[in-house]
Copies of this chain bind each other. A is one copy, B any other.
Amino acid sequence: MWARGPPEPRRRRWLRALRRRLPVLGWLPRYSPGWLQLDLIAGVTVGLTVVPQALAYAEVAGLPPQYGLYSSFVGCFVYCFLGTAKDVTLGPTAIMSLLVSSYAFHDPVYAVLLTFLSGCIQLAMGLLHLGFLLDFISCPVIKGFTSAASITISFNQVKNILGLHGIPRQFFLQVYETLRRIGETRPGDAILGLVCLAALAGLREMKSRLPPASHTEPLATRASYLIVWTCATASQNDYRIDPNQELLAIGFANVLGSFFSSYPITGSFGRTAVNAQTGVCTPAGGLVTGALVLLSLAYLTSLFYYIPKAALAAVIISAVVPMFDAGIFRTLWRVKRLDLVPLCVTFLFCFWEVQYGIVAGVLVSGILLLYSIARPPLKVLGQGTLLVQPGSSLHFPAIEHLRDVICSRALSAAPSPCSIILDCHHISSIDYTVVVGLAELLQELRKHGISLAFCSLQDQVLRALLAADLEGFRHFPSWEEAERCGGAEPGGSGAAPFDSTSTSESSLLHKGLIQ
């Protein structure tokens, strides 16, 4: 049984569909007073984190600090109703702010327009069920991107710590200019910045001495996905995360947020981890966070003018430095060296422009993926009777390679083998191009007096080959049997136990498929 899920009654399926669109219906009826306290504490904690971060990230996006807060409350309210994970929090993030800075040109109007447009695209993707596109962003690309972004964002703040002005945005120019003008450092800014950095590092050190919350590590990895595609895929609940629903939630939050002067928001992995660690029970915690942000907007905006940039810089640096994962290079070297290619490509291109890095990484990993499909592993054994076993399914880009390998082995060997057995054990599906290629291979080998037999065919593959009515097609249940019969009958004539045109079983199958 090749199945995707168990059958279920229609009414339950309908309810499940409604709950999928409005996940709040899933947890609200079960809401218990005990959860309220935990949600309150978590909401306040996240709120106290988001206010300074929002002010700082607005600086990264090249916008006035209040825009950070404008962007921080809509997501909390929307996610409470539409989100599928209890601990994900939407809002401004360091990397999204970096991306926004490329398009906002220090003008909030462009940033708000960007919010509206990206929200519309996310809504459309969610409604069209295009969430599966996220699957095509591989881990090495995410890792390369976040590591490079952490360096770019941190270095971007060095100028604020040193109190330098007029440093260009492009990374390499920035490094050059910052180093060239390091003599112009303003001591006040530098001292304040370094003290803040040290204080934050001290707090982080104290936190790491506490017993670790075991579930935050994989959460962080998974939550990285949030940033690129602004979609949450993390799951700490019994219910599974639905990427299309997350796209809908974020898209709706962005579209709605654009009416409140928000710049584009997404799931924040830092605050999501804080939320999970404080023991949030439902997305209701977001309501508390949102209320806290609104309160700060009401009573604190006049103070924003006095926030020192060097202090914000320290907040940003200490938030993004842990995103740099130096160990990934060693891990990939051990586990899968080829994956170092998309990692390095993404990492390096990101220093040029972050967007180019992601696009280049996705392209490179796509090319490697297609290459592995075009060149599947082929096991070739034997001399008199050649056994050829493809290690995976045959898709159309692979058939020319298979033919080349078989022909070069069969025709260049002296003495040439009298028969070849193609072990289709690992082939779960084939397409028309493969069928045509196999037909031509059969014909070419027969011309040289070499027989080709197929063995261990899965039902679907056998049906396709029988429907194609290949000339001289012979197949056997196992390669042992194929070797016994095929080896004795070079040239492809006679003694074919399931010859496609002679036995009743296969002709039945055949007719069943013709009509």
A residues adjacent to B (C-beta < 8 A): 1-6, 132, 134-136, 138-140, 215, 218, 221-222, 233, 235, 238, 240, 243, 331-332, 334-336, 338-339, 365-366, 369-370, 372-374, 376-381, 391-393, 395-401, 404-405, 407-409, 411-413, 426, 428-433, 435-436, 439-440, 443-444, 447, 458, 464, 467-468, 513-514
Contacts and interface: CB of A to CB of B under 8 A. Distances in A.
A428 B428 contact: no
23 contacts: A4-B405, A132-B397, A134-B400, A135-B374, A135-B400, A136-B370, A136-B374, A139-B433, A140-B432, A218-B443, A221-B440, A233-B400, A235-B444, A240-B411, A243-B400, A331-B468, A332-B432, A334-B468, A335-B468, A369-B395, A376-B428, A392-B392, A393-B393
A402 to B, nearest CB: 11
Given A3-B380, A6-B409, A240-B411, A431 B138 contact: yes
Contacts of A398: 135
Contact of A136 (B135, B393, B397, B404): B397
A432 B396 contact: no
Contacts of A136: 370, 374, 396-397
Contacts of A138: 396, 431-433
A408 B241 CA distance: 11
Contact of A1 (B380, B396, B440): B380
How many copies make up the complex? Answer: 2
Q: Describe A's contact surface by its main secondary structure.
A: helix
Contact of A379 (B1, B6, B435): B1
B440 A405 contact: no
A310 to B, nearest CB: 37
Given A136-B374, A440-B222, A393 B396 contact: no
B400 A336 contact: no
A405 B5 contact: yes
Nearest to A366: B370
Contacts of A400: 134-135, 233, 243
Contacts of A377: 2, 428-429
